[in-house]
């Protein structure tokens, strides 16, 4: 199987849609002799912050000398970036080899009367095969959707389960209350789980649900709030932060590349997970923690592509994420003597809280344009433009490509050109920008 054939095969499974459940992935793993059972996993669920937290943990463990796998979704620019080893994307050759084995297993399942595998089930199987082949010391696994019935939940009790902040998203699958969603995500906590990291939550009832699940499964609880980094100074080059003592060792002050106060919380979750591993006698030098977190760079998370003109992209795609985005805009660009002007480029999937997000964004924007994210669930740019014009009385331009939108950037000194609303949109924008 060539790399091109591997990617084409995976993409062809899109016709089977998104199916929650563990039966098919379990059958595929059985055909492959259950590689997931031989891997020490850090399993991460939550509504926002999963990817950032996962990348921070991976960076630190890699810096500490561990062979580290990282499985995240969705891809921003390259499919291979979904599967990383020591923070480097899988090679085309390794992807083809793993896909060939998974394809054979999936076909064997169908021959025995099982269901056809979805894209995500195949991708999850590929991740476990790849990480097992590379004999990783740890694999950081990001949940795709929810937790209980997500394909990644085929793993047995993880070394550490991380629950990031929970908000209202994917309500059609997970329930329409925070408590319902928390219960679904807490199902990644199983018997045999070492530690459970709980991010700061907006609801006490959510905390109680996660805590009860951890207690019932005999897992230790680590509060991410206790390890949150503290902001000393922030600018467009990064953030100078400080940390309380970590296991009685002061981390002191250091700079991180990531922008936004929310990343201080994500770093706290990552630090708590690392403490959980350290308490299981895994050696993680404190300098590796400082260097790992300091050097993490995440594309598409309040990322500045250019300063002249000012261009930034953010994959915020739900109400909590958009609120965080507008807070960050004010933190970095609002000046008492010179307020910024927002040139907004917006696109979103149809199953998101579009109305809530528009209420936060439209009043702030001087100019609005729309694009269609690269996903079958996307709202068409023309339809989104018509909706905004009808409901807010603003002129909106719909673009049919990132290249067309980028040709209209405003280079005025006080203008922020911001692309936001979907990772499926900003990945294409990022690629087009650097191809200009």
Q: Under the phi-then-psi rule, with left for phi > 0, alpha for psi from -120 to 50, and beta for the rest, what region is 163?
A: beta
Q: Is the Cα dihedral 216, 219, 223, 224 positive or negative?
A: negative
Rg of the chain on CA atoms, in Å: 21
Range list of H helices, 279-399: 286-295, 319-333, 354-361, 381-392
**Domain annotation for the chain: domains and CATH numbers:** 3-295 (3.40.1190.10), 303-435 (3.90.190.20)
Residues 6+ apart with CB under 8 A from 258: 52, 238, 239, 296, 297, 298, 301, 302
Q: Would you state the pLDDT for residue 140?
A: 99
Range list of H helices, 112-240: 119-133, 171-174, 178-185, 204-216
Q: Would you state the pLDDT for residue 15?
A: 64
Compute the distance between CA of residue 300 and CA of residue 258 in angstroms, rounded to an integer.
Answer: 11
Tokens for 50, please give them.
């999963």
Residues 6+ apart with CB under 8 A from 330: none
Q: Would you state the pLDDT for residue 25?
A: 98
Q: Would you state the pLDDT for residue 172?
A: 75
The DSSP-derived string for 253-264 is EEEES--STHHH
CA nearest 258: which of 199, 311, 308, 301? 301
Tokens for 400, please give them.
């049919």
pLDDT in tens, the chain (436 residues): 899 999 999 999 876 667 889 999 999 999 999 999 999 999 999 998 999 999 999 999 999 999 999 999 988 999 999 999 999 999 999 999 999 999 999 999 999 999 999 999 999 999 999 999 999 999 999 999 889 999 999 999 999 999 999 987 777 778 889 999 999 999 999 999 999 999 988 899 999 999 999 999 999 999 998 888 899 999 999 999 988 766 656 678 888 999 999 999 999 999 999 999 999 999 999 999 999 999 999 999 999 999 999 999 999 999 999 999 999 999 999 875 678 999 999 999 998 999 999 999 999 999 999 999 999 899 999 999 999 999 999 999 999 999 999 999 999 999 999 999 999 999 999 999 999 8
Range list of H helices, 32-146: 50-63, 92-111, 119-133
* Coarse DSSP helix, strand, coil percentages of the chain, rounded to the nearest 5 percent: 45, 20, 35
């Amino acid at each position: 199987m060539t790399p091109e054939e591997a990617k084409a095969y995976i993409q062809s499974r899109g016709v089977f849609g998104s199916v929650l459940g563990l039966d098919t992935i379990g059958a595929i793993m059985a055909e492959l002799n259950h590689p997931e059972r031989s891997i020490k996993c850090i399993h991460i669920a939550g509504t926002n912050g999963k990817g950032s937290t996962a990348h921070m943990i991976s960076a630190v463990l890699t810096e500490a000398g561990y062979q580290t796998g990282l499985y995240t979704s969705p891809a921003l620019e390259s499919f291979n970036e979904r599967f990383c080893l020591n923070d480097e994307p899988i090679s085309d050759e390794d992807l083809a080899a793993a896909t060939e084995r998974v394809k054979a297993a999936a076909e064997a399942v169908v021959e025995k009367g099982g269901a056809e595998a979805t894209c995500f089930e195949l991708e999850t199987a590929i991740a476990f095969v790849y990480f097992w082949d590379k004999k990783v010391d740890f694999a950081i696994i990001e949940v795709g959707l929810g937790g209980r019935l997500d394909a990644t939940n085929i793993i047995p009790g993880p070394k550490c389960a991380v629950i990031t902040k929970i908000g209202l998203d994917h309500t059609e699958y997970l329930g329409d209350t925070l408590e319902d969603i928390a219960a679904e995500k807490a199902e990644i906590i199983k018997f045999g789980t070492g530690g459970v990291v709980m991010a700061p939550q907006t609801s006490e009832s959510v905390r109680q649900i996660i805590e009860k699940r951890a207690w019932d499964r005999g897992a230790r609880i680590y509060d991410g709030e206790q390890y949150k980094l503290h902001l000393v100074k922030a600018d467009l080059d990064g953030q100078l932060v400080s940390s309380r003592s970590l296991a009685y060792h002061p981390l002191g002050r250091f700079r991180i590349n990531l922008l936004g106060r929310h990343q201080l919380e994500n770093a706290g979750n990552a630090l708590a997970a690392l403490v959980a591993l350290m308490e299981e006698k895994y050696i993680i030098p404190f300098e590796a923690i400082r260097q790992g977190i300091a050097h993490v760079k995440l594309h598409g998370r309040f990322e500045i592509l250019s300063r002249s003109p000012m261009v930034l992209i953010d994959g915020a795609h739900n109400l909590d994420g958009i609120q965080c985005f507008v807070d960050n805009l004010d933190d970095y660009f609002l000046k008492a003597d010179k307020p910024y002007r927002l040139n907004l480029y917006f696109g979103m999937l149809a199953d998101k809280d579009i109305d809530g997000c528009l209420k936060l964004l439209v009043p702030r924007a001087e100019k609005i344009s729309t694009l269609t994210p690269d996903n079958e669930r996307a709202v068409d740019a023309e339809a989104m433009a018509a909706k905004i014009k009808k409901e807010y009385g603003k002129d909106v331009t719909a673009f049919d490509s990132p290249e067309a939108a980028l040709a209209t950037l405003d280079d005025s000194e006080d203008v922020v050109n911001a692309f936001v609303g979907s990772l499926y949109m900003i990945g294409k924008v990022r690629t087009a920008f650097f191809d200009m």
